Amino acid sequence: MRAVNATPTDVPNPMAFHFTRLELAGVVLVERNAIRDERGLFEETYRASEFGAFGIDAVFRQDAHSQSQKGVLRGLHYQKSPMAQGKLVWVAAGRIFDVAVDVRRASRSYGKWVAVELAADNGRCLYIPPGFAHGFYTLSETADIMYKMTQEYSPLHERGIIWNDPELAIAWPGTHPTISPRDAAFPPLRNADIETDPAMI
């Protein structure tokens, strides 16, 4: 992994974000710096200029909030072109095991996945570009998950992959999650309607 600070070191900025490129091209771990005092804390979750300086020039078109109980697994979800979504995900309360899977058939990392623990107290966000499936497992009693998305939700373009696909072999923290009937009916990656747009690479 290669870490890059998007803020020049000679310019003090207590709100600077720290960006780390993960092993799947385009997936970025973003760490926030919170200002804390006796009242609590204040932190930014997004600033277009800093993300743009790092190379994340996504335009976000929809925000969303979900809440899940311990042991709930949501995913693996994605949308196809022309409504493929990039996502910036973070946790406002609780902890999750967050997963991104490359579903771009022409990609050298097709079928590979990466996972990061996101928590309200660790200041981490995960940027997942278009062409990736996303899912998470809830580690805390409850978790509030926040999303920024580069495209609006489109049922016509929504697709999914079964969470326990043996060919993906994702190392989920739990083996018997609470999952929706819809998510339980998703196909494995080899049978999924995946992203073939070469512009995604």
Alpha-carbon separation of residue 103 from 124, 145, 185, 191 (angstroms): 24, 23, 18, 12
Check 18, 46, 65, 77 and give the catalytic one.
77
Alpha-carbon separation of residue 113 from 106, 134, 141, 162 (angstroms): 15, 10, 25, 14
Catalytic annotation on 77? yes
Arithmetic mean of pLDDT, 125-136? 97
CATH number 2.40.110.10 given to 2-196: no
Bridge partners, residue 116, by sequence: 98
**pTM of the full structure:** 0.88
pLDDT band at residue 192 using 50, 70 and 90 as cut-offs: very high
Q: In what order do the strands lie in the sheet with 28-31?
A: 2-5, 18-21, 28-31, 124-128, 87-93, 142-149, 62-69
pLDDT digits (tens, 9 = 90+) for 8-18: 433 445 547 99
Is residue 7 scored above 80 in pLDDT?
no
Q: Which pLDDT score, from 0 to 100, does residue 201 have?
A: 63
Check 46, 127, 147, 157 and give the catalytic one.
147
Q: Which pLDDT score, from 0 to 100, does residue 170 have?
A: 97
Give the angle subtended at the CA of 27 by the CAs of 90 and 98, to the nearest 5°: 40
Closest to 84 in 3D by CA, of 64, 103, 99, 65:
103
Q: Which of 43-47, 145-149, 175-179 has the lowest mean pLDDT?
A: 43-47
Is residue 4 scored above 70 in pLDDT?
no
pLDDT digits (tens, 9 = 90+) for 24-35: 999 999 998 877
Q: Which pLDDT score, from 0 to 100, does residue 36 have?
A: 78
Q: Which pLDDT score, from 0 to 100, does residue 104 have?
A: 93
